[in-house]
Amino acid sequence: MSAPNPSETGLTFEQVRSVSPALERYTQDAIMGNLWKRPELSPRDRSIITVSALIARNQTIGMPHYFNLALDNGVKPAEISEIVTHLAFYAGWSNAFFAVAVLKDIFAQRGIGTDHLPPVSPELLPINEQAEEQRAAAVQASTGGIVPGLEKFTTELLFKNLWLRPGLTPRDRSLGTISALIANGQSAQIPFHLNKAMDNGLTEAQASEAVTHLAFYAGWPNAFSAVPVVKSVFESRKTKAA
Amino acid sequence: MSAPNPSETGLTFEQVRSVSPALERYTQDAIMGNLWKRPELSPRDRSIITVSALIARNQTIGMPHYFNLALDNGVKPAEISEIVTHLAFYAGWSNAFFAVAVLKDIFAQRGIGTDHLPPVSPELLPINEQAEEQRAAAVQASTGGIVPGLEKFTTELLFKNLWLRPGLTPRDRSLGTISALIANGQSAQIPFHLNKAMDNGLTEAQASEAVTHLAFYAGWPNAFSAVPVVKSVFESRKTKAA
Amino acid sequence: MSAPNPSETGLTFEQVRSVSPALERYTQDAIMGNLWKRPELSPRDRSIITVSALIARNQTIGMPHYFNLALDNGVKPAEISEIVTHLAFYAGWSNAFFAVAVLKDIFAQRGIGTDHLPPVSPELLPINEQAEEQRAAAVQASTGGIVPGLEKFTTELLFKNLWLRPGLTPRDRSLGTISALIANGQSAQIPFHLNKAMDNGLTEAQASEAVTHLAFYAGWPNAFSAVPVVKSVFESRKTKAA
């Protein structure tokens, strides 16, 4: 029911079988029959994680199937639109444009017009001024002010704008962000965003299962490289809470 | 005779020349005329390394030429099929699917049917129980049990199944794995897999030349980032042996 | 005037809007209306940085627009040709071939023939023998001689040939190199090349702004991961100069 139906990715199961009967079987049994049915994450969460990983890695071959599956799993068109916009910043502008190239046709096929999409300038969520001041100060301290342009855009575009757009909950926005980071092996940026994700409501069990899920979509090495970083975040939060 | 003949990648030498006469010359002289003829690795090994790097990096433009060259260099269809399946796990599912999209046509053109491909459930190679117990214990110790799903899939799907499939020798499976790791700059995962590769019969001279070979296909920065890790593995094995 | 006009990338602004009205607005306002107009870098420098990042990341969807923009911004065809050749070594051979696949049509459309391109074997720039000896010795010391093939190709092909080709100034060659490194998150290789870039005339302000510029094209995580490395290079040069 869920996950890689190659017939919607430009590949049929028969085509996969014509190169590797074993790969077809792993896809059907391990991914569709097992991974997506594990209760640790909802199918909707798995869809957010998967499409974020595909966008972050330019995996256009899987996008038609997984964008459709995400819509079927309850991710709203407006939420997918926000994920693409969000990952322009967190994975690179062209990554978002590759996703647009696929999604425009899916939205057209499903009759999803701009009236279903988030407006350009919605009323923003209220900002947590104290947390934002701490974030900006921490960045300033660590960068030593050597990249003023980057600091400025980060504050104005990302934390005082993008992250406050109401079309995607902060928790789901965080889930997409850490999925993109893990999928691209960007360990150094995981601690800040995993902490933010957990502050936004992501549980330890969900974060753990996201790593497991991403092993299939971004490869075992990216999953294993994330583990020590995730572990140290879990531990540091327990220490603080104690 | 070997290596990048752009005419089979959708690019002709003339087209490369029309953008960069120097790039065409480097391709013909340095890669085809020199690199592929160096005796430190057989053309068959160079093919395994190259196709693994291309799959790991989604370099579809080079796949038609290098998949054909691999078959010409003695990599059997069943072995290429196993490499694709193996790298679904070690590079990501979509990476394998991109390779399938190219290989299905090559297999069809060459009349390679499923009777030439590894069965879904072959009799597996015998497992080294002691080594597997040590591996699982080491993972458990380092992860602290925070990713139970990942541990479970790693044991059941990878080390008690994928790695024991007989269609590709453990040594060649290891060669493809470390090639993918180096090609994607995943240094943290190199020590375990380079040790495994050398336990499986890869020599120091071959591992060294694989790094040299990958400089061309994955870029100098990935090759140079691998060097200190490879060096420390070589040294640690000498210490143990002493 | 500058930057991502999706109509030349295969995407129109209308298509971007059909998936994300906000993404279109960010593109028009933040990137075209703001980033590219910042005075810290010339449009020509921004073009070198952008095309280097796109080549390094296989972002073919943005290439038609940005190659054309680079030519409009004063990057000569011969210089673009050299950037592609240079990045074959610094990003991987297939990356250069993907760029060739796009550029061959642009050169044809603009009537740019091989008479406008750098010859295969031009008279090379004079080599700084002392600096080259130091570089080779440093590599030898750090690698411990474990990758003789890589050392040989690095000296003969890269530092005694590629870097001395006169079709691109050493400063612009360095700018393309560090852009590719930052765009791919290859932090370990940044110190050597950023020092070389600054020795070749790149200023601190320009290097800082390059990081800011790359945040949009390679994603915020790659920009932020580069910051501590860039900072330590800036500091070490001040210490030496003091």
| Res C240: pLDDT | 82
Residues of B in contact with C189 (CB under 8 A): 220-221, 224-225
Do the Cβ atoms of C20 and A91 come within 8 Å?
no
d(CA C228, CA C224): 8
Residues of A in contact with B55 (CB under 8 A): none
Cβ–Cβ < 8 Å for C176, C50: no
Return the DSSP state at B117. Answer: S
Q: What is the dihedral of CA B11, B12, B17, B23, to 10 degrees?
A: 60
The shortest C-alpha distance from C139 to chain A (Å) reads: 26
d(CA B84, CA A172): 33
CB contact set of B56 (below 8 Å; sequence gap of 6+): B87, B90, B91, B95, B179, B180, B183, B184
pLDDT along chain C (242 residues), means of 10: 45 95 98 97 98 97 96 98 98 97 96 96 96 95 95 98 98 98 97 97 98 98 98 94 76
d(CA B181, CA B86): 13
Helix, coil or strand: residue B13? helix
Full DSSP string of A26-61: HIIIIIITTGGG-TTS-HHHHHHHHHHHHHHTT-GG
> For the residues A177-196, what does the mean pLDDT come to?
97
> Smallest Cα–Cα separation from A192: which of A144, A145, A167, A159?
A159
Return the DSSP state at A14. Answer: H
Do the Cβ atoms of A150 and C223 come within 8 Å?
yes
Dihedral sign of CA atoms C31, C34, C40, C44 in order: positive
The shortest C-alpha distance from B118 to chain A (Å) reads: 7
Q: What is the dihedral of CA B51, B53, B55, B60, to 10 degrees?
A: -80
Cβ–Cβ < 8 Å for B87, B96: yes
Do the Cβ atoms of A84 and C219 come within 8 Å?
no
> Smallest Cα–Cα separation from A124: which of A58, A74, A176, A173?
A173
Over the stretch C8-52, which tens digit does the pLDDT of each residue have? 456 889 999 999 999 999 999 999 999 999 999 999 999 999 999
Indicate the helix (H) or strand (E) that contains A183. Answer: helix A170-183
Q: Is B118 on the interface with A (CB under 8 A)?
A: yes
Residues of C in contact with A147 (CB under 8 A): 208, 211-212, 223, 227, 230
The shortest C-alpha distance from A6 to chain B (Å) reads: 9
Q: Name subunits touching B (3+ CB pairs < 8 A).
A: A, C
d(CA B178, CA B192): 10
CB contact set of A242 (below 8 Å; sequence gap of 6+): none
Full DSSP string of C118-142: --SSPPPPPP-HHHHHHHHHHHHHH
Q: Residue A199 CA to chain centroid, in angstroms? A: 17
CB contact set of C33 (below 8 Å; sequence gap of 6+): none
Most distant CA pair in chain C, distance: 58
CB contact set of C46 (below 8 Å; sequence gap of 6+): C2, C35, C36, C73, C213
d(CA C82, CA B22): 8
Do the Cβ atoms of B92 and A228 come within 8 Å?
no
Do the Cβ atoms of C19 and A99 come within 8 Å?
yes
d(CA A21, CA B113): 11
Q: Is B239 on the interface with A (CB under 8 A)?
A: no
Please tell me which of the candidates A89, A101, A149 has its beta carbon nearest to residue C61. Answer: A101
Over the stretch A14-38, which tens digit does the pLDDT of each residue have? 999 999 999 999 999 999 999 999 9
Cβ–Cβ < 8 Å for B208, C149: yes
- pLDDT tens string, chain B, 242 residues long: the values are 334 444 445 688 999 999 999 999 999 999 999 999 999 999 999 999 999 999 999 999 999 999 999 999 999 999 999 999 999 999 999 999 999 999 999 999 999 999 999 999 999 999 999 999 999 999 999 999 999 999 999 999 999 999 999 999 999 999 999 999 999 999 999 999 999 999 999 999 999 999 999 999 999 999 999 999 999 999 999 988 77
d(CA A197, CA A63): 25
d(CA C58, CA A32): 30
* Six token digits for residue C4: 């991502």
d(CA C193, CA C188): 10
Do the Cβ atoms of B26 and C119 come within 8 Å?
no
Q: With a CB-CB cutoff of 8 Å, which residues 41-100 of chain A face chain C? A: 58, 81-82, 84-85, 88-100
Please give the residue of chain C at the shortest CA–CA distance from B219: C92
Please tell me which of the candidates A30, A38, A61 has its beta carbon nearest to residue B94. Answer: A61
> Smallest Cα–Cα separation from C193: which of C209, C214, C177?
C177
